[in-house]
Chain A
């Protein structure tokens, strides 16, 4: 894993801790299912806005899907793509 990717992962896990609630002492990982961790309509919006502000990106509509919001790992992939696009522009 590159330094940049590690940094994205760490930041994303920090953001996730604010909106997700692992049960009975489970540890938050990139594989954890977001819905199972309590992601609902309210905190999804909050988390999305937080991610967009932190990484200075905007999620296009075609990335606002269940597949992208399945886990922090799938979210991280989308963030990486959007950041790469930003750099190449």
Chain B
């Protein structure tokens, strides 16, 4: 993606975030509904096709611009931004690993802005990305798949579903395939509602899938390769950027309010304590911004160098990517928590649209729970034990992992 194109897209996204996403965020939250107006606005500037290759009418986007876009959208509406990055995760999986196989789908996503949802969750396993319970069952020329998913974000609005499923009924829970399903493939039904503390707009509902898919809907690239090379980094970078944007948006609005002639809530903005507390919030943002930039730059470099899979399997890389997610979820929630204190009852605690702090507090509370920080910390701890040994070399390209 060239610089001019990226800058233009960032500018357009800034306008959309300010004029549409922020305008509707309060209403979406209040009425616990999908952000239809905001997603339409994203479609109008072609954002659903961000990772679609140019030959299929997409932007063929890079990671450095991606995180900035996610942050800009996050400033306006956390739910809309999160929907966009989750959609991007599915699109990148297809675009990076089997673009020819899914060319029709990718073209359709770029031209019509259709959404692609992820179906990972299952009863008794939660959202663990690297295991599956339901299995593909051979049926005539293709496969049948019957699967319940307790949480499918924007499932009622999605046109396409990228589903994790066991290769066969006799396969291990780790032997996973990615399968693309559409609404024409059988019965796809909504089984409940979304009642949550925050992130109302994501409408992450339970769904039941009973579909028949032809063999060419099964992702030809090995699941682990797709996951570690594309799906994990793009979602951790995207989530972290969205949360960063949510926190930055709330802080910016709060700071603007301090000097506004109609300022709501009295603040002694010359007090040492107030200024010190305020500047600490900025420090958290700056730390996180550096982490985001560095990660995006590294991922773009890997792409340019066509880095081998060993790079993505290395414990150091996995720990880094996991730490980005963990740090972002903790720093941004801590920031918004402190902003409630600074804002006081009027600006911080009350449900209003002046700074959106109360809504951001509820939205960001979910950050540590999404692909739970506890699980990621456990993974990182385990990987640290072998990080400096030669053990990681056993999962190299030659070993076929």
Q: Which residues of A approach B to under 8 Å, CB–CB? A: 21-25, 35-36, 38-46, 48-49, 61-62, 64-66, 69
B57 within 8 A of A: no
Interface majority SS (helix, strand, loop, mixed), chain A? helix
The A-B contact count (CB < 8 A) is 69
Please state if B391 and A44 are interface contacts (CB–CB under 8 Å). yes
Residues of B contacting A62 with CB < 8 Å?
Answer: 390
Query: 8 Å CB contacts to A: which residues of B205-230?
Result: 224
Task: Tell me whether A42 and B130 are in contact in the complex, defined as CB-CB below 8 angstroms, given that A64-B391, A65-B394 are known contacts.
Answer: yes
| Given A21-B172, A65-B394, 4 further pairs, Cβ under 8 A | A23-B175, A35-B400, A41-B318, A44-B391
Q: How large is the interface on B (under 10, 10 to 19, 20 to 34, 35 or more residues)?
A: 20 to 34
Partner of A45 from the list B130, B168, B386 (CB cut-off 8 Å) is B386
Chain B residue with Cβ nearest A62? B390
List 6 contacting pairs A-B, 8 Å CB cutoff, sorted by A.
A21-B172, A39-B401, A40-B395, A42-B379, A44-B391, A66-B396
Partner of B390 from the list A36, A45, A65 (CB cut-off 8 Å) is A65
Bound together, the chains give a CA A16 to CA B175 distance in angstroms of 16
Please state if A64 and B389 are interface contacts (CB–CB under 8 Å). yes
Please state if A40 and B174 are interface contacts (CB–CB under 8 Å). yes
B53 within 8 A of A: no
Partner of B175 from the list A38, A42, A43, A61 (CB cut-off 8 Å) is A38
Bound together, the chains give a CA A24 to CA B399 distance in angstroms of 21
Please state if B394 and A38 are interface contacts (CB–CB under 8 Å). no
Bound together, the chains give a CA A42 to CA B382 distance in angstroms of 8
Bound together, the chains give a CA A64 to CA B390 distance in angstroms of 6
Residues of A contacting B189 with CB < 8 Å?
Answer: none
Residues of B contacting A40 with CB < 8 Å?
Answer: 130, 174, 224, 395, 401
